[in-house]
Structure formats: structure tokens, C-alpha cells
Amino acid sequence: MSSSMWYIMQSIQSKYSLSERLIRTIAAIRSFPHDNVEDLIRGGADVNCTHGTLKPLHCACMVSDADCVELLLEKGAELLSYLLDHQDSLGIDC
């Protein structure tokens, strides 16, 4: 990777907190090429952060990523955390 590309990626990544990057990586929305869920959690991303109306566990359930759901639960994600429409993680098909 060229040094200019590295600076661009650093600039983009610095605009988002680890917790925001966690949500984006799980949902694969503008995911960063070198981010993965486990590394973000290890780096300090909050597994119970709310981004908009969603938490990481909700996103993992919505994209049917069972491995990610398991990892988030192992790392302390709250199973009964509610969305703004009062639907909990168990109510989302996974």
C-alpha cells in the first residue's frame, strides 16, 4: 500500500470510534479493509454501544452471522437490549 493510501485510510478510520467501526464492520457498511470484529473488540470497542438505533448484537442477528453473535455474547453483549421499537435481540431472526 502506498504511503498516500495509508494516510487516507488513517484519516478515514480516525473519524469513527472503535465502537462505530464495530457496528459498520458487522453490518458491512463501508467496512474498513483491515477491520475485523475480534480485533476491534480487543482494541476496546464497546460491544453494547448504540449506533443510531442498533447495537452490535442486533446487527449481527440482522445479517445472520451466528459466529459474530457468539463472539459478541462471549465478550459481554447484552442479550436483552432493546431497539427503539422495543424489539429485543431475541426477536430478530438469527
Question: Where are the chain's structural domains?
Answer: 3-91
The whole-model pTM stands at 0.65
Lowest average pLDDT, out of 1-10, 59-68, 74-83, goes to: 1-10
Contacts for 73 with CB less than 8 Å, ≥ 6 apart: 57, 79
Q: Which CATH code of 1.25.40.20, 3.30.465.10, 3.40.50.300, 3.40.50.2300 fits the domain covering 3-91?
A: 1.25.40.20
Listing DSSP states for 25-54 in one string gives: HHHTSS--TT--HHHHHHTT--TT--BTTB
pLDDT tens digits for range 21-36: 888 888 875 555 556 8
Please give the average per-residue pLDDT across 67-94, as a whole number: 71
